[in-house]
Structure 1
Amino acid sequence: MSTKTKIILFGCAFVLGFAAFASAFAGDEVDEIVKKLREKYEKIETLQADFVQTSIWSLAGEQHQSEGKIYLAEKNKYRVETDPQLIITDGTIVWTFSKDREQVIIDELSKSKENPLPRDILLKYTKDSRAVLLGEIELGGTPCYQIKFQPKDENSFIVSTTVWVSKADWLAIQIEQEDLNENLTRYFLKNIVINSPLSDSLFSLKIPASVEVVDLR
């Protein structure tokens, strides 16, 4: 799975963490918790946060850490900023700007297999995964519910996704995915802001004249 795919999956999973978490409890006698989660999720129109991404390669015994910022809005708009790459979509077009290569790739969101839409992630969580409440834990001083999702499809490349959800505000503050090769990708989220106005300019790219443009539309 490419780094680009992982970053986009992370962004979508973060926004939809509330709905996924609610589905984990749907069969239990916690109707009030489910209600609160769904109400929280339904009220989210925009979201922004800083994140730390940690990648751990099991076979090589290597670990890499990077930082970035994510912005999300309604109608499948998002912006993910990291040092080497900038990924932006206005809900229709996706721009991937690789700064070190001085290249911008333009594609349509609807036909790009590497850019799953938020509704697709929601469908995956609620229908294609088994959810288990692992318990309650403190993460960075924040009391959390720890939820593990395992795909029903035995051939899935991602074998588990664990989400840490803050008990105080029902926000997912950490997401960890493990693949078939036992590699881990972890995202820790901080400075989370929801429903603050975001400029439309965040979700479009003004392409520098000096960069190479690859248009796949």
Structure 2
Amino acid sequence: MKRFFSYLLVLLAMVQLTNAQNVQKDPQAERVLDAMSKKYQAMNAFKVAFTQTVESPSAKAKESISGDITVSGNKFRLAVAGQEIINNGATIWTFMKKENEVTISDNDPDEQELTPNQIYNLYKKGYRYMYAGEEKEGGEAVHVIDLTPNDRDNQVFKIRLHISKKDNSLKSWKMFRKNGNRYTYKVNKFTPNPPVTATTFAFDKTKYKGVKVVDLR
């Protein structure tokens, strides 16, 4: 699991930016972030279809993959790159479609660099943030917010959020790693309050004929 999140959603790091060193919590940025957080917290659940693009200047490579995630509180169901990750807050199932194998482990937030449902509240603990201006994304005006993690040992040095000026929704975010790699996540479709049940956030092995179960609990 930790390796997976490092690849897909690593969002913890430290930045060395002169302006950020002087601005701990920019009030303008905080107003935008609070409005975004409030929007998502007001929903019982939401579903996001996204595209992840990984750019590696050193290898002169660029790769994009698509996925979707359903979130409800601290629970989520994520499907991407032939994997399905299900977390009900206590247990995590990682299903590898090609291998027809599921690994079961206890949910330990301390062992995960980030869980997908944290992106909307990420700024609230362990981060500085500043307002970096306005841009256009898909013809829509967006606020640009830069997050600066406080942990100097982490390898991402900046997280840039694009937040809609119109409705406070998160349109995309980009992570800048010290090794030069860039990870961009673009929201393609957002569905508020999709129907979810207890089975949404659980793995039913009876639906996967011959699945190999690796229980690490």
TM-score by length of 1: 0.80
Aligned residues: 205
2:82 paired residue number: 84
Which runs of 5 or more structure 1 residues have no equivalent in the other structure? Answer: 14-23
Deviation of 1:184 (Å) = 0.8
Identify the residue that residue 59 of structure 1 maps to in structure 2: 58
The residue type equivalent to 1:62 in the other structure is A
Instruction: Give 3-state SS (helix, strand or coil) of 1:210's partner.
Output: coil
Q: Please list every run of 5 or more consecutive structure 2 residues that lacks an aligned counterpart in the other structure.
A: 13-22
Displacement of 1:86:
0.6
Question: CA 1:123/1:180 → structure 2, altered by over 3 Å: closer, same or farther?
Answer: same
Q: Shift of residue 63 of structure 1?
A: 1.0
Pick one of 94, 104, 107 that aligns with 2:105.
107
Higher helix fraction: Structure 1 or Structure 2? 1
Question: Which protein has greater RCO, CA pairs closer than 8 Å, 6+ apart?
Answer: 2
Offset from partner CA, 1:20-60 (integer Å, 9 cap, x none): xxxx9965368875764454243122110110010112321
Tell me if 1:210 matches 2:210: yes
CA offset at residue 6 of structure 1?
4.4
| 1:35/1:175 CA distance change after superposition, 3 Å | closer
**1:159 partner amino acid:** F
Aligned-pair RMSD on alpha carbons? 3.2
Q: Aligned-pair distance for 1:168?
A: 1.3
Q: Which moved more, 1:112-121 or 1:85-94?
A: 112-121
TM-score by length of 2: 0.80
* CA separation of 1:2 and 1:107: change in aligned 2, threshold 3 A: closer
**Larger deviation: 185-194 or 109-118?**
109-118
Taking every aligned residue pair, what percent have the same amino acid on both sides?
A: 24
* 2:27 corresponds to: 28
